[in-house]
């Protein structure tokens, strides 16, 4: 809960076309067609891959077929025009490429023979029939693909990369830029993730019963990690990365449509909507961070706040026990409803953090609770809780621990101790904007 205060393989694993085909890669001789292709791809790629995965039962193969269909669109649409039903056109081409690939393989086991029979379509334009067949399953297919991309068998980094790739439709280089890692690293994660999914025999299904809750938790964790990296970047020169926040919000909203009966899904959407509402107020004109209590609340996005509060009401209306995301959304709502910092209901926030701590055994939650206690009951009580966390040592390398301690010490007029804490926090963070903020606070303490 950080938001307030994460190559090439074997030839057989590689697609037959370049794995990141994109409209921008082609000369812009037909800009209207290329813009249409890019728009269609961003809107429909996840559905296309989901529909193909249902048929071929292999996410990697499904993505390769979808990419081949995209290449065909890049070659044909600029001269022949965008078809009336572009998504159905892409699906038809992808299926035909699948047939061609299977026919070229010398050794096909029974599974591939069955796939070929399912894929086989007679010659002619059957786009309308394909679209109708796809629409019969698309919502379930997309939800299945979300569960596959976020499967716990994958590492956290792999789940992030797979989700942004197959659900978000982002290119490998886009994902790499978002997380400030080499493109080859992301490519390797995606290749290994596909291998792991195939080797583990992860079923293309919507989990039920007890397994559903665990798997849904993994999905929500991935989406929130994406959001948090955009909301408060862990490294680099920028405090915010809005593109990641926007992508996480889009994924959350899609999930809320696919799983409308899950309170925690609506809770996560509510949390992200409310947090995102502060984006423009969280930095000044030069891009430097602005802390919550110093923000101009007139710059908070009221539309996003209303959407967040509506999502929270929807979660509450389902009558399910509140989960961690619903509770965090309720905390965010306390801030959103306060027109000034002084109007913030810190006593309620302390209580909500107590509820959250009972659900999630996390020193980060306890640190956030200490902040709230310091606001509700005075900095001395908050500092006592922070000192207990210092003694435990679990957050020894977490920069927000000395940052919070420094803030409480300032309020107690212990300036020299506070300066040392801010300097330590600055030495621990990997974000340049955050480091500058913390060193500035240390300098303020030194000057009295």
Q: Which residues pair with 84 in a beta bridge?
A: none
Q: Do the Cβ atoms of 345 and 338 come closer than 8 Å?
A: yes
Q: Do the Cβ atoms of 274 and 309 come closer than 8 Å?
A: yes
For the purposes of burial, counting CB atoms within 10 Å of the CB of 147, is it exposed (0-12), middle (13-18) or buried (19 or more)? buried
Q: Following DSSP, what letter does each residue of 88-149 receive, concatenated?
A: HHHHHHHHHHHHHHHHH-S---HHHHHHHHHH---SS--HHHHHHHHHHHHHHHHHHHHHHH
CA dihedral sign of residues 348, 350, 352, 354 = negative
What is the reported pTM?
0.76
The CA distance from 327 to 423, in Å, is 33
The CA distance from 40 to 89, in Å, is 11
Q: How much is the pLDDT for 171?
A: 85
CA distances from 108 to 15, 111, 157, 288, 382 (A): 18, 8, 33, 59, 66
State the angle between helix axes of 86-104 and 127-149 in degrees (0 to 180), rounded to the nearest 10.
Answer: 80
Domain boundaries, the chain: 210-336
The CA distance from 114 to 60, in Å, is 18
Q: How much is the pLDDT for 17?
A: 37
- Residue 418 tokens read as 């506070």
CA distances from 48 to 59, 78, 414 (A): 11, 21, 60
Q: Ramachandran region of residue 215, left (φ > 0), alpha (ψ -120 to 50) or beta?
A: alpha
pLDDT tens-digit profile, the chain (448 residues)? 554 443 223 323 333 333 455 555 554 556 677 777 887 887 788 888 888 888 888 888 888 888 888 888 888 888 888 888 888 888 888 888 877 776 666 555 555 556 656 666 544 444 444 444 444 455 688 888 999 999 999 999 999 999 988 888 888 888 887 777 899 999 999 999 999 998 998 888 888 887 888 889 999 999 999 999 889 888 777 878 888 899 999 999 999 998 999 999 999 999 999 999 999 999 998 888 999 999 999 999 999 999 999 999 999 999 999 999 999 999 999 999 999 999 999 999 999 999 999 999 899 999 999 999 999 999 999 999 999 999 999 999 999 999 999 999 999 999 999 999 999 999 999 999 999 999 999 999 998 7
Burial 227-251 (b: 16+ CB within 10 A, else e): bbbbbbbeeeeebbbeebbebbbeb
Q: Do the Cβ atoms of 54 and 144 come closer than 8 Å?
A: yes
Q: Do the Cβ atoms of 279 and 295 come closer than 8 Å?
A: no
364 contact partners, CB below 8 Å, separation of at least 6: 1, 2, 395, 398, 400
CA distances from 361 to 240, 324, 393 (A): 28, 11, 15
């Amino acid at each position: 809960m950080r938001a307030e205060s994460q190559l090439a393989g074997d030839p057989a694993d590689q697609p037959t076309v370049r794995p990141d085909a994109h409209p921008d890669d082609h000369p812009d001789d037909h800009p209207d067609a290329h813009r249409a292709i890019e728009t269609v791809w961003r809107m429909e790629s996840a559905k296309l891959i989901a529909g193909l995965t249902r048929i071929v039962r292999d996410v990697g193969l499904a993505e390769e077929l979808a990419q081949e269909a995209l290449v065909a669109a890049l070659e044909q649409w600029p001269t022949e025009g965008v078809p009336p039903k572009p998504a159905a056109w892409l699906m038809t081409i992808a299926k035909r490429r699948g047939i061609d690939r299977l026919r070229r393989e010398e050794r096909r086991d029974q599974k591939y023979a069955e796939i070929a029979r399912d894929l086989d379509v007679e010659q002619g334009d059957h786009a309308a029939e394909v679209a109708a067949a796809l629409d019969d399953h698309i919502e379930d297919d997309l939800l299945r693909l979300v569960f596959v991309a976020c499967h716990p068998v994958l590492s956290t980094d792999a789940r992030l990369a797979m989700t942004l790739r197959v659900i978000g439709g982002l290119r490998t280089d886009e994902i790499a830029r978002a997380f400030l890692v080499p493109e080859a690293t992301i490519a390797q994660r995606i290749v290994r993730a596909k291998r792991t999914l195939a080797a583990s025999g992860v079923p293309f299904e919507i989990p039920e019963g007890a397994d559903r809750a665990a798997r849904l938790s993994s999905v929500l964790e991935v989406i929130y990690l994406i959001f948090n990296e955009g909301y408060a970047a862990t490294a680099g020169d920028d405090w915010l990365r809005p593109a990641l926040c926007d992508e996480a919000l889009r994924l959350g909203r899609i999930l809320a449509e696919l799983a409308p009966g899950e309170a925690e899904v609506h809770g996560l959407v509510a949390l992200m909507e409310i947090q995102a509402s502060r984006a423009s107020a969280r930095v000044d004109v030069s891009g430097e961070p602005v802390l919550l209590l110093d923000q101009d609340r007139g710059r908070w996005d009221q539309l996003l706040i209303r959407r967040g509060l509506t999502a929270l009401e929807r979660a509450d209306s389902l009558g399910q026990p509140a989960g961690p995301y619903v509770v965090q959304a309720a905390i965010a709502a306390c801030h959103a409803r306060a027109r000034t910092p002084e109007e913030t209901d810190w006593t309620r926030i302390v209580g909500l953090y107590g509820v959250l701590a009972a659900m999630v055994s996390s020193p980060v939650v306890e640190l956030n609770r200490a902040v709230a206690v310091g606001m509700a009951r005075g900095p001395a009580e908050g500092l006592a809780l922070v000192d207990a966390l210092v003694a435990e040592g679990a957050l020894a390398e977490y920069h927000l621990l000395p940052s919070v301690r420094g803030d409480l010490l300032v309020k107690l007029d212990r300036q020299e101790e506070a300066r040392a804490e801010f300097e330590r926090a600055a030495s621990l963070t990997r974000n340049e904007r955050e480091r500058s903020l913390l060193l500035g606070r240390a300098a303020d303490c030194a000057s009295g």
